[in-house]
Structure 1
Amino acid sequence: MGIGQGEASKERLFETKGGLNKMANLAKYSAFILVLLCAVPILAAQAETVSIIRVIDGDTCILENGERVRYYGINAPEKGDPQFNEATQANNKLVAGKKVRLEPQNPSRDKEDRLLAYVFIDEIFINEELLRLGCAHIQRPLAAKYRDRLLRAQQAAREEGLGIWAKAAEQSIVIAEAHADAEGNDWDNLCDEYIVIENREDISIDLTGWIVYDEVHRRYLFPNFILKAKEAVTLRTCLGKNSQSELFWGSRSPIWNNEGDTVFIRDSRGQLVLSYIY
């Protein structure tokens, strides 16, 4: 082979390698573009701007497409509860007729098929704002994102006695113990899940018609019951026979969240007597 032919062969070889390199780079670039395109729907699902046409209550609204949105991580009073109207009005004032940004959560829907989301209007975090106003309380479990912000907002409202945290006249009723984590499987040992309610007054207190409830509004209505001075009563989750020292919720499933919960007690007029967070 002559010198000219050898040089030509080398040039063809270099051209072939160069072409292969260009093809490889093009393939990498195409793959990168494909990844970006695939990511667009995911990003859109994570943060979506929509319009709210109506609110249902203090923690639920309806979008222009008919979708119902349940504000994740909080729980507002239900219809018939104290502060229901105030919470609904506050939510209406904040979001009705406005464009909001939704951050859907995981799981994305609740048992009523409502979209679970954090809700924002510009820089206003609606879930947090409703807590700050005392229009709702925390509902656990909470995701790590925004957890501290939500807890701080609730604590501030609680300390100021705003909204649902406004107390009746001070009474010396306390939660002496909250035993949420029963021994073994909670479902198999409901009687070992209980709260202890203590009367630290020097006089007896009539608890008839009082209500105990948790963060998801599962309720226990006190029967005809007098809690004597300086005594306590244990309220157990299971079925049983009531006595002066023990009352029974009669639930067939656990009530108190092992990861943390809030015990609310309201008197027969619906006024808050105590809230106990564990």
Structure 2
Amino acid sequence: MFRFFTIFFSMFMILMGCQSPSDGDKLQGTVVNIVDGDTFDVNIRGVGDERVRPIMVDAPEICHQHDPPECEPEPFGEEATEFAVDVLLGETVYLEPDVSERDPYDRLLFYVYVEEDQMFQEMLLEEGLAEVVVFEPDVRYREEFYEVQEEAQEQEKGMWSL
């Protein structure tokens, strides 16, 4: 419960202008660990380490240590994970909320910007390393994401090359 109030208070303070990341409506943090192509840990300023799930994208799965030995990674899962490592690990990110705060796995949900105007979700989609998934009510960039995905499909990039 304390963590919820800490996050809520931090978001409130940012929105009220008491903390000044480059863009007033975004949290700022540093990516400290990559789990896979669409899950990573961010040290959020004023909050601490949190697991983050980028909104509206689903990257192919990889196998983790806790998975059964017969686990097989999905095609392009390793590439999506490597892409996340290359683009995000150790970098400052800007986190824009939508409606939902967390997913069923307790991961924070955000639109993730590598630079203030370059969204990680769009980068994954451009490379064909993720597909659009829509979970209402978090749909702010639905049309834009589908356009990026369609272009990757037309160019047969990444997972669309199979």
Give a deviation string over 1:172-217, Cα, whole Å, max 9, x none. Answer: xxxxxxxxxxxxxxxxxxxxxxxxxxxxxxxxxxxxxxxxxxxxxx
Deviation at 1:41, TM superposition (A): 2.2
Cα pair distance change 1:140/1:40, threshold 3 Å: closer
Say whether residues 1:59 and 2:38 are aligned partners.
yes
Say whether residues 1:157 and 2:138 are aligned partners.
no
Q: Residues of 1 paired with 2:126 and 2:86: CA distance? A: 15
Equivalences for residues 134-149 of structure 1 within 5 A: 134-141=128-135, 143-149=138-144
- Contact 2:132 2:149 (C-alpha < 8 Å) held by counterparts: yes
- Please point out which of 90, 100, 110 is paired with 2:93: 100
Deviates more, 1:141-150 or 1:80-89: 141-150
Deviation at 1:115, TM superposition (A): 0.3
Aligned to 1:77: 60
- Please point out which of 41, 45, 54 is paired with 2:13: 41
TM-score by length of 1: 0.44
Deviation at 1:127, TM superposition (A): 0.7
For the aligned residue pairs, the C-alpha RMSD in angstroms reads 1.9
Deviation at 1:106, TM superposition (A): 2.0
Structure 2: segments with no counterpart, 5+ residues: 1-10, 17-23, 63-72
Deviation at 1:154, TM superposition (A): 0.5
Deviation at 1:109, TM superposition (A): 0.4
Indicate the SS of the match to 1:107: coil
TM-score by length of 2: 0.73
- Please point out which of 104, 114, 125 is paired with 2:119: 125
Indicate the SS of the match to 1:105: coil
Say whether residues 1:115 and 2:116 are aligned partners.
no
Indicate the SS of the match to 1:67: strand
Q: Residues of 2 paired with 1:49 and 1:141: CA distance? A: 24
The one-letter code matched in structure 1 to 2:155 is E
Give a deviation string over 1:218-258, Cα, whole Å, max 9, x none. Answer: xxxxxxxxxxxxxxxxxxxxxxxxxxxxxxxxxxxxxxxxx
Identity of aligned residues (%): 33
Deviation at 1:105, TM superposition (A): 2.5
- Please point out which of 88, 91, 95 is paired with 2:84: 91
Q: Residues of 2 paired with 1:50 and 1:42: CA distance? A: 13
Q: Residues of 1 paired with 2:160 and 2:40: CA distance? A: 23
Deviation at 1:46, TM superposition (A): 4.3
Deviation at 1:62, TM superposition (A): 0.5
The one-letter code matched in structure 2 to 1:84 is G
Aligned to 1:229: none
Q: Greater RCO between the two (CA within 8 Å, min separation 6)?
A: 2
- Contact 2:56 2:139 (C-alpha < 8 Å) held by counterparts: no
Deviation at 1:148, TM superposition (A): 1.9
Cα pair distance change 1:163/1:43, threshold 3 Å: same
Structure having the higher Rg: 1
